[in-house]
């Protein structure tokens, strides 16, 4: 099974997690671990442009990160979701719960 | 010129370092006065030295001001020696020291008591000393020595090890500073050291840098570690610095013949020797070694067998940690159902922190997941939480803790007792704790969500026997046993335990409630959430007659009571078999297909839906739909595990294949159709489905005859 890679980098005031590969029940642990480390502590952007598939496991991780950010008054943004990631987000019926930026360059200041 | 430039650069570096110190209070103020006076001394003396060749008048003023600077610096260090680490103001002492500084500065700058005149011829530096030069020099050096001795005395008497080490480091810095200054600045001009006189300007920088370290560091270092580091750096300096110097000197010889080649050769030598030295230092000074040890520790934790039971897992973790850190004991606390922290290893079940206690609030508020007791004592950024955190350390008797937090919620705490060697946890330990935090989090999460050992024994046996417990809950439904309908379903999880859910509840003779869906998450956690949710829906069903409100209250329960990030995608429905209708609310079920015998076609019926758990109030988004069921019709409902199943080539199973299976199984029973769907998706995915799946088929045969009458 193809693995997932989650790279963490700083970009201005944002901590950016760049995800590559499929997010499913076998791979979501790494994403969960890294989002939990940062969610609610920093302004976090999750770059989903490299996501090849995303199941509900990935949505759950993002939702938890969003709720942590809201609780702590931090910002959370999904960046450039791939087509499959966008569809997974839309399937929740609450796309507006996932603030989205079209690219890393267009992250809010 | 080169030495003067070196001193300028050292002064700038020191100033930058001092600017980076964020400490507050009277001790920090004394430190800043001392440090900036030291920097001013270095710059003024160096500038005076440069100007002494051609601008003697200006040079004299600058050098006198530098002398005043060193007096101010040492007096400020004396104030620091008396007050550190406390922020308490000592007004009388401050006034006295300020008065002495002002008087000394006046005497040095505005009279001939210290220096009368200056002159420099190349490296020859002549200083015409005033009548009291020796007395002033000795007095200033004495203040420096007094400050250092005071620091040593205080270091011996202070209880905190981290402050003891700070005072010792500052005292050492001051001692070097005084010795350096006396050798180069006082004796230098009258000895052979005059050639390196500009170095005398750097003397106070040692004390300033040592104090900067004390104000920036909150962790102790082990003497042998520091000695090893210094020795390794000395080897690097000698082993690489000497050959480099030789190479540059050779290049210097050819500067007249070919300046460009000479410079290029020297630059190349710097790069080559620099890289060799860096590579050597990484291996020998410890970075790679430390990294390797941390990776071994991570691997050891990652290989813990979580199926062995909580007590066994934590016992094994205790052995690993005691071996890695040399701690005298290891303890684990876990969040209990009330939100408090309870000790689970050793399992005395003691409630250590009650929900809402200042300790828990402090742990929730702290913005780091590794806390050393020395951090709490010495780190000013923790000042607001200091009392509560120290109380927590005292209750546990520990010296270091690692927190496992979900956002602000503290899921677990790992506590480490004092080291067997008696040493404190240091910066290397901190880095190791930090490196393994992710793995410890998994263990904490496991400890939090796996019930107590006595219960776990039972549960684990059941889990070990192919998830019978969860399956029994999953299968505990009111079967839809009605002559007008045939219902079949299948829940399956790739890991034995999953979050998919099908439940049906008999409301009346011809009415049934059902829910099909997927609770997010995987494995044991998802199963637990599913079991809880199933139970809650049944409870709400007894209380709530309004269909929309039932779903809305389920949403609120998920949002408020289930673990953060949990959501539910599925469908809630009522079967009115006497009317031949289904009323349903789509909450994000991905596939709900209807096949009518009269149309002989398959229609996707679920419409738009909103998953539960995303917003607090979902009621405005909920829409009840009605679907008329003609006799012979079939409804097929599937969770995302089927639709999103992937082939080895990365293709999705999709809805089209589901429709095709439905079409191919027109004559099959509901159970056969469900089996056909699961078989097809499984074959598509190469025999391995990645996600939990639930498929439900409802065949409607028509209203019972007695009702038709």
In order, the DSSP letters of B650-690 are: S-B-HHHHHHHHHHHTTTS-HHHHHHHHHHHHHHHTTT---
Q: Please tell me which residue of chain A has the smallest CA distance to B498.
A: A25
B692 CA: distance to closest CA in chain A (Å) = 9
Indicate if the alpha-carbon torsion angle B646, B647, B650, B656 is positive or negative: negative
The candidate with the shortest Cα–Cα distance to B577, out of B641, B638, B644, B506, is: B506
Q: Looking at beta carbons, which residues of chain A come within 8 Å of B590?
A: 91
Q: Which residues contact B442 (CB under 8 A, 6 or more apart)?
A: A29, A33
Provide the pLDDT for residue B307: 62
The minimum CA-CA distance between B691 and chain A, rounded to whole Å, is 6
Which of B520, B608, B646 lies nearest to residue A93, judging by beta carbons? B608
- Domain ranges for chain A, please list them: 5-102
Q: What was the pLDDT predicted at B705?
A: 64
From CA B389, how far away is CA B559, in angstroms rounded?
Answer: 31
Measured distance CA(B519)–CA(B131) in Å, rounded: 89
The answer regarding whether domain B292-455 maps to CATH 3.30.450.40 reads yes
Asked if A94 lies within 8 A of B614 by C-beta distance, the reply is yes
CATH value of A5-102 in 3.40.220.10, 1.10.3720.10, 3.30.750.24, 2.40.50.100: 3.30.750.24
Closest chain A CA to residue B651: A53
pLDDT of residue B566: 84
Chain B CB contacts of A68 under 8 Å are: 406-408, 564
pLDDT in tens, A64-92: 889 888 888 899 999 999 998 999 899 88
- Three-state DSSP at B585 gives strand
Task: Please indicate whether, in this complex, the C-beta atoms of B569 and A92 are within 8 angstroms of each other.
Answer: yes
Distances (CA, A) of A11 to A67, A109, B339: 22, 10, 36
Distances (CA, A) of A92 to A31, A65, A84, B555: 19, 16, 13, 13
Q: Is the pLDDT assigned to residue A56 strictly greater than 70?
A: yes
Question: Cβ-count burial of B683 within 10 angstroms (0-12 exposed, 13-18 middle, 19+ buried)?
Answer: exposed
Task: Give the strand pairing for A14-23 and A43-54.
Answer: parallel
SS (H, E, C) B20-41: CCCCCCHHHHHHHHHHHHHHHH
With a CB cutoff of 8 Å and minimum separation 6, the contacts of B77 are B30, B34, B143, B144, B147, B170, B174, B207, B211
Nearest CB to A56 within list B408, B437, B520: B520
Q: What three-state secondary structure class fits A11? A: strand
The topology under which CATH files domain B2-217 is Rhopdopsin 7-helix transmembrane proteins (1.20.1070)
Torsion over CA: B518, B523, B529, B530 (sign):
positive
- Residue B684 CB coordination number (10 Å): 19
- Report the residue of chain A nearest B688, measured CA to CA: A1
Asked whether the beta carbons of residue A53 and residue B650 sit closer than 8 angstroms, the reply is yes
C-beta atoms of A93 and B614 within 8 A: yes
Q: Which chain B residue is nearest to residue A94, measuring alpha carbons?
A: B610
Contact A93 B652 (CB under 8 A): no
Q: HSE of B505 in the Cβ direction (CA atoms, 13 Å)?
A: 16
Match 């219960």 to its residue by tokens.
B455
Query: Which positions in chain B touch A24 (Cβ < 8 Å)?
Result: 690-691
A91–B640 CB contact, under 8 Å:
yes
Contact residues on chain B for A39, CB-CB shorter than 8 A: 407
Is the pLDDT score of A27 beyond 60? yes
Strand-pair partners of B571: B516, B586
- Smallest CA–CA distance, residue B426 to chain A, in Å, is 22
Using DSSP's 3-state secondary structure scheme, residue B89 falls into: coil
CB contact under 8 A, A93 and B367: no
Running along chain B, 709 residues long, what does each successive block of 10 average in pLDDT?
71 84 80 91 89 88 92 93 83 92 93 89 81 90 93 88 86 91 77 75 84 77 66 70 74 73 76 70 52 72 70 88 89 86 84 86 86 84 86 89 77 88 81 79 70 46 48 70 89 73 88 90 70 79 86 88 82 91 92 84 84 90 90 91 82 88 89 93 82 89 61
| Peptide bond before residue B85 is cis, with ω within 30 degrees of 0 | yes
Q: How far is B571 from chain A (nearest CA, A)?
A: 13
- Which positions in chain A touch B588 (Cβ < 8 Å)? 91-93
Q: Give the whole-angstrom CA distance, residue B171 versus residue B150.
A: 8
Nearest in space to B490 (alpha carbons), one of B697, B661, B647, B700: B697
Token representation of residue B602: 């398959």
Calculate ∠ Cα B489-B491-B497, nearest 5°. 160
Is B521 in contact with A60 (Cβ distance < 8 A)? yes
Task: Identify which of B520, B565, B610 has the shortest CB distance to residue A94.
Answer: B610
Q: For residue B608, list chain A residues with Cβ-Cβ distance below 8 A.
A: 93
SS3 B122: coil
Distance CA B309, CA B443 (A): 11
B chain contacts of residue A76, beta-carbon cutoff 8 Å: none
For every residue of B221-233, DSSP letters joined together read --HHHHHHHHHHH
Q: Is B403 left (phi over 0), alpha (psi -120 to 50) or beta?
A: beta
> Of B413, B459, B412, nearest to B309 (Cα)?
B459
Q: Do B408 and A71 touch (CB under 8 A)?
A: yes
By three-state DSSP, how is residue B627 classified?
strand
CB B614 to CB A68 under 8 A?
no
Residues of chain B that touch chain A, judged by Cβ-Cβ distance less than 8 Å: 367, 369, 405-408, 437-438, 441-442, 494-495, 518, 520-523, 563-567, 569, 588, 590, 608-611, 613-615, 621, 640, 644, 646, 650, 652, 690-692
Calpha distance B543→B83 (Å, rounded): 67
Collect all residues with Cβ–Cβ distance below 8 Å to B313 and sequence separation of at least 6.
B304, B305, B306, B443, B446, B447
Closest to B667 (Cα-Cα) out of B692, B642, B704, B634: B634
The whole-angstrom separation of Cα B522 and Cα A23 is: 12
**Beta strands B568-576; B124-129: pairing state:** unpaired
Q: What pLDDT sits at residue A85?
A: 93
Which positions ≥6 away from B190 have C-beta within 8 Å? Answer: none
Q: Which of A1, A37, A63 sits opposite B565 (nearest CB)?
A: A63
Decide if B614 contacts B552 (C-beta within 8 A). Answer: no
- How many C-beta neighbours within 10 Å does residue B256 have? 8
Residues of B in contact with A57 (CB under 8 A): 520-522, 691
- B468-708: CATH architecture: 4-Layer Sandwich (3.60)
Burial class, B649, CB count within 10 angstroms (exposed 0-12 / middle 13-18 / buried 19+): exposed
């Amino acid at each position: 099974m193809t693995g997932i890679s989650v790279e963490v980098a700083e970009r201005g005031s944002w901590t950016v997690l760049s995800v590559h590969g499929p997010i499913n029940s076998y791979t979501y642990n790494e994403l969960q671990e890294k989002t939990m480390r940062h969610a609610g502590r920093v302004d976090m952007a999750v770059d989903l442009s490299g996501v090849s598939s995303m199941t509900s496991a990935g949505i759950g991780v993002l939702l938890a990160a969003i709720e942590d950010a809201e609780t702590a008054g931090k910002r959370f943004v999904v960046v450039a979701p791939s087509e499959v990631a966008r569809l997974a987000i839309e399937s929740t019926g609450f796309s507006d719960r996932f603030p989205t930026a079209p690219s890393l360059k267009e992250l809010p200041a | 010129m080169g030495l003067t430039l070196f001193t300028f650069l050292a002064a700038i570096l020191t100033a930058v370092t001092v600017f980076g110190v964020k400490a507050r209070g009277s001790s920090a103020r004394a430190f800043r006065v001392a440090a900036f006076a030291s920097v001013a001394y270095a710059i003024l003396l160096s500038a005076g030295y440069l100007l002494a060749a051609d601008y003697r008048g200006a040079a004299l003023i600058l050098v006198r001001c530098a002398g005043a600077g060193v007096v101010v610096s040492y007096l400020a260090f004396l104030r620091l020696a008396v007050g550190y680490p406390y922020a308490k103001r000592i007004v009388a002492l401050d006034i006295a020291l300020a008065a002495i500084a002002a008087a000394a500065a006046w005497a040095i700058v505005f009279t001939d008591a210290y220096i009368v005149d200056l002159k420099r011829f190349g490296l020859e530096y002549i200083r015409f000393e005033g009548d009291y030069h020796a007395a002033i020099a000795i007095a200033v050096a004495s203040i420096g020595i007094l400050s250092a001795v005071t620091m040593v005395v205080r270091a011996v008497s202070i209880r905190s090890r981290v402050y003891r080490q700070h005072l010792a480091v500052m005292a050492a810095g001051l001692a070097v500073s005084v010795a350096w200054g006396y050798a180069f600045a006082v004796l230098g001009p009258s000895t052979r050291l005059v050639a390196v006189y500009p170095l005398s300007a750097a003397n106070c920088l040692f004390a300033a840098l040592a104090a900067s370290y004390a104000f920036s560091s909150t962790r102790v270092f082990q003497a042998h570690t520091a000695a090893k580091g210094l020795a390794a750096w000395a080897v690097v300096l000698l082993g690489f610095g000497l050959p480099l110097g030789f190479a540059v000197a050779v290049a210097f010889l050819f500067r007249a013949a070919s300046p460009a080649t000479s410079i290029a050769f020297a630059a190349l030598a710097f790069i080559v020797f620099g890289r060799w030295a860096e590579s050597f230092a990484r291996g020998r000074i410890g970075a790679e070694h430390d990294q390797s040890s941390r990776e071994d520790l991570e691997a050891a934790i990652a290989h813990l067998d979580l199926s062995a039971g909580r007590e066994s897992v934590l016992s094994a973790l205790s052995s690993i940690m005691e071996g890695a850190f040399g701690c005298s004991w290891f303890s684990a606390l876990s969040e209990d159902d009330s939100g408090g922290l309870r000790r689970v290893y050793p399992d005395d079940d003691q409630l250590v922190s009650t929900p809402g206690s200042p300790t828990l609030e402090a742990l929730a508020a702290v913005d780091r997941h590794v806390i050393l007791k020395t951090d709490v004592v010495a780190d000013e950024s923790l000042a607001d939480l200091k009392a509560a955190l120290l109380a927590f350390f005292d209750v546990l008797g520990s010296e270091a803790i690692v927190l496992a937090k979900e956002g602000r919620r503290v899921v677990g705490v790992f506590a480490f007792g004092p080291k067997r060697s008696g040493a404190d946890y240091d910066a290397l330990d901190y880095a190791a704790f930090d490196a393994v935090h992710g793995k410890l989090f998994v263990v904490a999460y496991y400890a939090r969500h796996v019930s107590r050992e006595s219960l776990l024994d039972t549960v684990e046996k059941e889990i070990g026997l192919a998830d019978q417990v969860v399956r029994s809950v999953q299968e505990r439904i009111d079967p839809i046993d009605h002559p007008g309908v045939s219902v079949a379903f299948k829940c399956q999880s790739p890991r034995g335990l999953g979050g998919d859910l099908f439940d049906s509840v008999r409301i009346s003779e011809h009415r049934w409630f059902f829910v099909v869906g997927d609770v997010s998450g995987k494995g044991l956690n998802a199963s637990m959430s599913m079991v809880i949710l199933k139970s809650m829906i049944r409870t709400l069903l007894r209380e709530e007659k309004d269909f929309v409100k039932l779903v809305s209250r389920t949403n609120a329960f998920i949002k408020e009571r289930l673990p953060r990030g949990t959501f539910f995608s599925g469908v809630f429905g009522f079967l009115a078999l006497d009317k031949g209708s289904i009323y349903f609310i789509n909450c994000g079920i991905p596939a709900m297909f209807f096949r009518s015998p009269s149309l002989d076609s398959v229609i996707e019926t679920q419409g738009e839906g909103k998953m539960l758990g995303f917003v607090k109030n979902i009621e405005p988004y909920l829409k009840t739909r009605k679907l008329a069921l003609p006799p012979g019709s079939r409804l097929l409902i599937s969770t995302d595990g089927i639709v999103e199943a992937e082939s080895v080539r990365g293709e999705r199973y999709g809805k089209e294949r589901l429709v095709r299976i439905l079409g191919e199984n027109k004559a099959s029973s509901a159970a056969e159709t469900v089996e056909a769907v699961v078989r097809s998706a499984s074959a598509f995915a190469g025999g391995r489905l990645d996600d939990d799946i639930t498929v439900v088929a409802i065949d409607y045969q028509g209203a019972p005859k007695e009702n038709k009458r």
